[in-house]
Amino acid sequence: MHPIIDRMKVILTGATGMVGEGVLLECLENAAVQRVCSVSRRSCERTHTKLREVLIPDFRDLGAVETMLSGYDACFYCAGISSVGMSEAEYVVITYDTPLAFASTLSRLNPQMTFVHVSGAHTDSTEQGKVMWARVNARA
């Protein structure tokens, strides 16, 4: 096995959601993953020797937990929310501003990190369409 793969440490957001939970389960079962740090607003309510949870109220403010987010190889950003009932401004904060701030902090702490932003199908790469969630997701 490749030495980098042998010791992979992963940060995951969205472990309480459908996609994030699937990524979490795959990481926990994968022998190449040494550690998984789940960053979330609430617990995923799982225990595993590889799993560490970091609970924070706002993904844009990581100052208090930065020391816990150093030394990682990859991040799967799976956090998200439905746009139903939200204004575009509210949705932009959650779907664009928040992952961008999170990624910026992780990039500073882990310059060699691979960051995977899980978005949605059928996003609008022109960012000009009438469907708000598709424009915002494509921008992210």
Q: Kindly tell me if the per-residue pLDDT of 23 is higher than 90.
A: yes
User: What confidence score (pLDDT) does residue 3 get?
Assistant: 52
Q: Given a cut of 50, is residue 1 above it in pLDDT?
A: no
Instruction: Label residues 115-137 b or e (16+ Cβ within 10 Å = b).
Output: eebbbeeebbeeeeeeebbbbbb
Structural class in CATH, domain 3-139: alpha beta
Domain positions in the chain: 3-139
Strand order in the sheet with 8-13: 51-55, 33-40, 8-13, 74-77, 114-117
- Give the pLDDT confidence score for residue 118 in this predicted structure: 87
* 5: pLDDT strictly greater than 60: no
Has this prediction a pTM greater than 0.75? yes
- Does residue 2 carry a pLDDT above 60? no
Percentage of the residues of the chain whose pLDDT score is greater than 90: 71
